[in-house]
Amino acid sequence: MKGIIFVLILASGLSASAVLASDVNLGINLNIGNSPPPSGAPIVVEEPPQFIMPHSLGFYVAVGMPFDMFYVANRYYVYRGNQWYYGLRYNGPWHMTSYQHLPVPLRRHQLDRIRHYRDEEYRVYSRDREHYRGRHYRPEYVGKERHGDRDGREDRGDGREREYRHEGHGHGDR
């Protein structure tokens, strides 16, 4: 170990004299500790997901997705790779958030219970979709090129904007 330190000191001393003579910079970085965890795969949602609202939860949960997605208080939330994200549209852009900043209805239930209620309600929904009496909806398709500004409006390309609405909540709105 002492030999390695001696070689490093000798090398830095020799390179320091060369640096002074030639106006060249030398930098040494030594990082000790854990590097930050790699970010997970990007959240990609190609098609509008189907959402159902289990009565026990009081907010919408997506079904048929490879990760957990929720619609609460006019925002979409995704739990993926032990991290929470939110966005104004079902297909992003996504922003990291912490558990403490989630809406209260989402924090009120543990994730495994939310999944249980979702799966239970989805079995009822999938048995007879035509006569399902619960609340459900599928947002309208939004392509990546159609993202408007961040206030929830879409640029129609004709100088006017269209407000996003989440209509068509199924038979449960009667």
Higher pLDDT, 160 or 114: 114
Quick: pLDDT tens for 18-29. 545 555 666 665
pLDDT value at 55 more than 60: yes
Q: Provide the percentage of residues in the chain whose pLDDT is more than 90.
A: 51
Quick: pLDDT tens for 72-109. 999 999 999 999 999 999 999 999 999 999 999 999 99
pLDDT of 61: 98
Q: What is the DSSP string of 91-122?
A: T---EEE-GGGS-HHHHTS-HHHHHHHHHHHH
Sequence ranges of the domains in the chain: 50-153+162-173
Distance in angstroms (rounded) separating the CA atoms of residues 60 and 74: 10
Quick: pLDDT tens for 124-136. 999 988 888 899 9
Pairing of the two strands 153-155 and 95-97: unpaired
Mean pLDDT score across all residues of the chain: 77
Higher pLDDT, 145 or 86: 86
Distance in angstroms (rounded) separating the CA atoms of residues 91 and 85: 12
pLDDT of 33: 62
Do 77 and 88 form a contact (C-beta atoms < 8 A)?
A: no
Q: Which of 25-29, 42-46, 72-76, 159-163 has maximum average pLDDT?
A: 72-76
Least confident of 1-10, 82-91, 117-126: 1-10
Higher pLDDT, 144 or 163: 144
Binned at pLDDT 50, 70 and 90, residue 173 comes out as very low
Least confident of 9-18, 21-30, 105-114: 9-18
